[in-house]
Amino acid sequence: MPARAVQPPPTTARAPYDSFVIPAPGPFFFQAATSIGTVIRPGRRTGSDRLVTPNLSRAAFRIQSGSPARTDYMDFPGRSHFLLGEPGWEDPAATTFAWIGRL
C-alpha cells in the first residue's frame, strides 16, 4: 500500500484550480453530491478527497465487480481528487504503472 501523503497546503491547489476548473451547471454537482439517480450512498464526506469519498468509491467497485469484466480497486489514503497533480504524485503513478504491468 502506498505511503500516506501529507495534505498539500491550499496555495498548492490554487494554480490547478485556476487552470482546470470550469463553470458547470449547479444541478450536476447537487446530483453528484447527493447521489440522486444512483443506488450508491456516499455517506458523510470526510477525508482529503471530498469529491469522491472512499465510501462512494468502494460502493461503485462492489457494484461494478459484479460485471464479467475485470474490475480492480486501488485506494490512496490522504490524497485529494487531483491525485496526479499534487506533490507526491510519484507514488500513485508508480503503483498504477505496476498494476498495468501485471495486466
Does residue 46 contact residue 53 with C-beta atoms inside 8 Å? yes
Locus of grid cell 495486466? 103
Comparison of pLDDT for 82 and 94, the residue scoring more: 94
pLDDT category at 99 given cuts 50, 70, 90 is very high
pTM score, two decimals? 0.55
Helix locations, 6-74, DSSP H: 10-20, 26-34, 54-64
Residue 76: exposure state from Cβ atoms within 10 A (0-12, 13-18, ≥19): buried
| Cα-based distances in Å from 43 to 7, 17, 26, 51, 75 | 22, 25, 20, 12, 17
Residue type for position 48: S
How big is the chain, counted in residues? 103
Q: What is the pLDDT of residues 3-16, one digit of tens each?
A: 555 566 667 777 77
Q: Is the separation of the CB atoms in 84 and 93 below 8 Å?
A: yes
